[in-house]
Structure 1
Amino acid sequence: MAAPPMTPTLDLPEGVLVTGELRPGYEQILSRTALELVASLHRALEPARRERLAARARVVQAVAEGTDLHLLPETRHVRDDPDWRVAPPAPGLVDRRVEMTGPTDRRMTINAMNSGARVWLADQEDANTPLWANVVEGQINLRDAVAGTISFTSPTGKEYALESTDQQRNPTIVMRPRGWHLEEKHVLVDGEPVAGGLVDLALYLCASARLQLDAGKGPYLYLPKLEHHLEARLWNDAFLLAQDALDLPRGTIRATCLIETYPAAFQMEEILYELREHAAGLNAGRWDYLFSVIKTYRTRGTEYILPDRNSVTMTAPFMRAYTELLVRTCHRRGAHAIGGMSAFIPSRDEDANAIAYAGVTADKRREADDGFDGSWVAHPGMVETCREVFDAVLGDSPHQLHRTREDVRVGPAELLDVAATPGRATRAGLRSDIDVAVQYLAAWLTGKGAVAIHHLMEDAATAEISRSQVWQWVHHGVVLDTGEQVTPELVRTLTDEVLTGLPGGPDAHRQAVDLFLELALGEYVDFLTVRASASLP
C-alpha cells in the first residue's frame, strides 16, 4: 500500500502566518516568494485600502442625506484632456469578441479552455466561494492550464483534458481577484488579515506570470467592485510594487476594470487614467451595477425604487446611458469596451433553449451595434452564438476602437434617471427574488459560487440584487400588483412558500434561509459575501 502523501510545510517570511489547511501541492503556490510579496503589498497598501473603504461609506451617507452622485470637479482636467491614451492592446487581448466567465475549479477550467472563446475570465471572486481550498487550488488549476498539463477525472470516471496545449489557440486567461472589501482570513501579516485581492494577485503572479509570458501572452486581470478612481490607483500601486519585486517589465500586468458600481459610472475616464499603462479596457458589469444602484440609493425616495429585477432590461434609460457612455469613454482613450454577461445556459428543454439562444443573440447584437468590442457568456454552449453576432459586425477587424461614438451625450442626469424604468413591483417578482437568493446562498455555503437556477447561470451578483431589492421594498413599504404591502411578515410567508418547492425542503436550506432573512430584513450589510464568509471554515 502506498504511503499517504506528506503534509507540506511552508517557508514562512517573518510576520506571515498561514492558518489554512495545507494539502500536497499547496507549497508550490504558497511559496516563500509569493508570501513575501503578499507581506510587502499588505504593509505598503493596507492603510490606503482601509481609507478607501471608509470613503465608500461616506459616499453612501452623503447620498442618503440628499447629495446625488456627480462628476468630480477635482478631476475635470483628466476628462477635458483630449490627448492621453491607455497602453496599446497587449498580446492575447487584441481581439476579445467573445469572452467566457466561470469559476476556477479543475473541470470548469478545462471546459473554459476548450470553449473556443477568445478570453476566459477565470473568476476567483463572484463565481467562487472563498473556501481556502478554492483560493489555493484555483491558482494550481490556472498554472496547470497555462502550462498545458491540466487534466481531470470525475468521480464517475469521465476524463477531461485540453484539446490543445497551444496557448496561442486557447483562450487568453484573465483572472478576476477579489475586490478591496474582501479579506483572506487564512493569511495574516503582522497579525492582520490580508486583502483577498492582494493574496490572489501575489499567488497568481508568482505561479503563472512567467508561464504566461513564455506563452506569448501575459498576466492579465479583471478588477471588480471599484467605486472610485483612487481605488484604481491603489491597484496600480500594487502592480508597480509586484512588477518590481518579481523583475517584470513595467506594464506587463494589464487590467480590465468592471464598471459594476454606481459611483464608478461617474469616474470611468479617471479609472482608466489611473491605470493607463496597465489598462486594457472597461466591462459593463450589468448585474452588480443594478445591485449597486439599489444599495447606493436604498434609503432615498420612490424615484430610486426599481421594479421587478427580471423586468429591468438593458434598454431601460439609465442602463442604456451607462453602457453607451462606457463605449464612448473606452474608445476615446484607446481601450476595449466589453459587454455584459448573458446568463442564459443551454438545457434539455427545447422551448427554454429557443428562448435562451434568442435572448443571447438579441443581447449581443445590441452590444455589437453599439460599438462594444466583445461580450461575455456564461456557458461554452453560448460561445458560438456570441461569436457569430460579433463576426457579423466586426468582420476581419479585431475590435471597434475606431468608433468613438461622439454621438453619445450622457451626463449625470441620464445616469441617474432610474425613475424612467418601465415596470412595477409584483408579488411574483418578490417571490422570485426570495427563490433565487435562497437557492444561491444554499449552494454558495457548500462551496459553489456559480449555480444554474431556472436556466440561468447565477453568481453572487444575482443574490445581491435579490436580497437588496427585498430590503428596499420592505424599507419603503412598496405596494405590489396584488395590493399587498411588502412587509417582513409577507417576506417570511413567501419564503416558506418557496421552501416547500425546493429539493430537500426547509431543513436542507435552513442556514441559507436564516442568512437571507438576516440580510433582507435586518440592518443593511454592504456585501452578502462578507457576511456569509463568516460562516465558512
Structure 2
Amino acid sequence: MTIVGPAVVGGAEVLTPDALAFVADLHRRFGADRDRILADRVRRRAEIAGAGRLDFLPDTADVRAADWRVAPAPADLCDRRVEITGPTDRKMTINALNSGAQVWLADFEDATAPTWANVVGGQLNLTDAIERRIEFTSAEGKQYRLTGDQLPAIVVRPRGWHLDERHLLVDGAPAVGAFVDFGLYFFHNARRLIAAGSGPYFYLPKLEGHREARLWNDVFRYAQQALDIPTGTIRATVLIETITAAFEMDEILYELREHASGLNAGRWDYLFSIIKTFRDAGSGFVLPDRNSVTMTAPMMRSYTDLLVATCHRRGAVAMGGMAAFIPNRREPETTRAALAKVRADKEREAGDGFDGSWVAHPGLVAVCREVFDAVLGDRPNQVGRQREDVKVTADDLLDIASTPGAVTETGLRNNIAVGLRYVEAWLRGTGAVAIFNLMEDAATAEISRSQVWQWVRTGTVLDTDAVVTVDLVRGLIAEEIAALRAELGEQRFAASRYEVAREVFEEVALGTSYVDFLTLPAYRLLDD
C-alpha cells in the first residue's frame, strides 16, 4: 500500500503499518466483488428504466415468506429514539456526543467531503472520543470537551461502494473508500469499544439490493475472524435509500441477519434514487419541487409503512428519516414554524411504529425525544408492534404520479441555488452545509441537480409556462452567480470556488450523459 496523500494531523496514529495492511487485505479480497456490484448497477438500472417497472424478486419469495429474525440487538442499540447525524470533525464530534441523543451517526459519507485531512482526522477524532480524551479550542478561544458520563452509542457510516480513496493506493490502484473507512475504524477501535461495553456499529449507505448486503456480511465475517473478534460483534443498520432496496428489505436483513440491527428510512437519498433510476423513463416519473415532496405523499407512506412492518416482523428496529431544519435565533417566527413541522413529522413516525428518528442539529434533540417519549414511555422501542395492517404492492411504491405539488420556477431556482452553494462548500472540504435554514448534504444536493437534469430532458413546463431547457438553466445559473458575487464582494468571491462549482454543477445537471454521483467529478477537484 502506498500513501500518496499529504502529511495530515493524526497520520502517525491512524495510518499505522498494521492498520494499512488490514485495509489492503480487505481491498485485495473484496475489491473485485465491489467492482462487479458497480457494473451490475449500471446494467440493472438500464433494464428498469427501459421497462419503467420494478417488482419484488420472484426468486427470493421464500425468504420473504419464511419465519426468521435477526440477531438480538446489543444493549446500547435497543433504545435509539433520537439519533443525531453529522461529520466527524472535532467540534461536531464533541457537540454530537454532548447532545443527549442515544446514538451519534458519525458520517464519513454524505456529510463529509473526503479531503485527506477529513478522512484521517475523522478517524483520530473517533478514537479520541472513545478514549474520552477529545477536546477542541476554536479560533475564538471557545473550549469544547465531553460533559456527560453516558455518551451516545457511535454508529459509523462509511462511504458508499461507488467511492474510491485516491490518497491510498493498493497495488497501484485507489483503495475502495468503504474499506478505508470501515477498516481503519474497526482495526483501531473494535476492542476499545468492546472493553467500554459497546461495539463496532455501522450504518451501510446506498445499497441497491441484497447481494450488496451479502458482500458487507462477507466483509464483516472476515474482519472479525482476522482480528479474532467473535462473529456477530459487528452490528449494521442499513439505510433503505434506493428504490431497488425498498423492494428487497426482507432479503437485505436476511443476508445480514447475524449482524443486522435495523433499517433506516433514508428519505433524501431515496428521492434521489427514484429520480436517478427513472430519469429517462418519461414524464410519468417526474417529481414536483423537492421541498414539496413530503413523507405524506402516497409513495412515501407506502415506503415507510413497509419498512416498519418488515423490521418489526424480523425483530429489528425501524429508524425514521432526517429532520434537516437548523434553528435560527435571528428568525424566531421561521424557527417556530419549522419546529412545528419537525414535531408533526416525528409524531407521524412514532405513531406509525418507528422506534426512533434522526435529527441534524442538537437543537432538535429535545423535540424528537419528547415525541418518542410520549409513545414509548419506559419501553426502549416498539419492535413488538407488528404492522399486520400493512399491505404494500409494487404499484404503491411506484405511485409517483400521485405525489402532490408542481414544478415551479421557484423550485428550479432553489435547486440551482442549493446546488451551487453546496458544491462550492464541498470543494473546500465541508460536506454538511447550512443553506436557507436547512442542513444540506450530498444527498439533498443530488436531488437538486438530478431534478434539473430530468426536467431538461423531459421538457418539463414550469408554473410560469416556461419550458425547462439547457439555455434557461444556464441563464438562471448565471443570475445566481452574479447574485453571489454581489453578496460576497469581488475579493471574497475571487477567493471562493464558485466558478469551479458552476463547472461541476453544469456537468452533473446539464451534461448529455447523466453522472451517477456528483461527488465523482467533484472529487477530482476537491481541495486538499
1:245 aligns with 2:230: no
For 2:473, what is the secondary structure of its paired residue? helix
**Letter of the aligned partner of 2:32 in structure 1?**
P
**Letter of the aligned partner of 1:319 in structure 2?**
M
Q: Bigger CA drift: 385-394 or 344-353?
A: 344-353
What's the CA shift for 1:189?
Answer: 1.2
For 2:77, what is the secondary structure of its paired residue? coil
* Cα distance in 2, alignment partners of residues 412 and 108 from structure 1: 40
2:8 touches 2:120 (CA, 8 Å); kept in 1? no
Q: Which runs of 5+ in 2 are unaligned?
A: none
What's the CA shift for 1:22?
Answer: 2.6
**Letter of the aligned partner of 2:314 in structure 1?**
R
**Letter of the aligned partner of 2:111 in structure 1?**
A
1:91 touches 1:218 (CA, 8 Å); kept in 2? no
Residue from 344, 347, 362 that aligns with 1:365: 347
TM-score, with normalisation over the residues of structure 2?
A: 0.97
* Cα distance in 1, alignment partners of residues 365 and 457 from structure 2: 41
Residue from 165, 173, 188 that aligns with 2:154: 173
Matches within 5 A, 1:121-520: 121-164=105-148, 166=149, 169-348=150-329, 349-502=331-484, 503-504=487-488, 507=494, 508=496, 509-520=498-509
* Cα distance in 1, alignment partners of residues 7 and 55 from structure 2: 48
* Cα distance in 1, alignment partners of residues 193 and 235 from structure 2: 12
**Letter of the aligned partner of 2:501 in structure 1?**
A
* Cα distance in 2, alignment partners of residues 25 and 346 from structure 1: 33
What's the CA shift for 1:31?
Answer: 1.6
Matched positions, count: 518
For 1:173, what is the secondary structure of its paired residue? strand
2:87 touches 2:111 (CA, 8 Å); kept in 1? yes
Alignment match, 2:524: 534
* Cα distance in 2, alignment partners of residues 474 and 533 from structure 1: 25
* Cα distance in 1, alignment partners of residues 311 and 53 from structure 2: 24
* Cα distance in 2, alignment partners of residues 55 and 228 from structure 1: 11
1:245-273 per-residue CA deviation (whole Å, 9 max, x = no partner) reads 11111111100000001110000010000
Residue from 19, 41, 48 that aligns with 2:4: 19
**Letter of the aligned partner of 1:520 in structure 2?**
A
Q: Bigger CA drift: 86-95 or 493-502?
A: 493-502
What's the CA shift for 1:504?
Answer: 2.5
For 1:222, what is the secondary structure of its paired residue? strand
2:83 touches 2:103 (CA, 8 Å); kept in 1? yes
For 2:125, what is the secondary structure of its paired residue? helix
What's the CA shift for 1:392?
Answer: 0.4
What's the CA shift for 1:295?
Answer: 0.1
**Letter of the aligned partner of 2:57 in structure 1?**
L
Residue from 53, 62, 65 that aligns with 1:77: 62
1:68-89 per-residue CA deviation (whole Å, 9 max, x = no partner) reads 121111111110102x110101
For 1:315, what is the secondary structure of its paired residue? coil
* Cα distance in 2, alignment partners of residues 500 and 379 from structure 1: 31
**Letter of the aligned partner of 2:17 in structure 1?**
R
> Between the two proteins, what is the percent identity of the paired residues?
61
What's the CA shift for 1:65?
Answer: 1.6
Q: Which runs of 5+ in 1 are unaligned?
A: 1-15
* Cα distance in 2, alignment partners of residues 458 and 108 from structure 1: 15
Alignment match, 2:514: 524
Indicate the RMSD between aligned Cα atoms, in angstroms.
1.1
1:33 aligns with 2:18: yes
**Letter of the aligned partner of 1:153 in structure 2?**
T
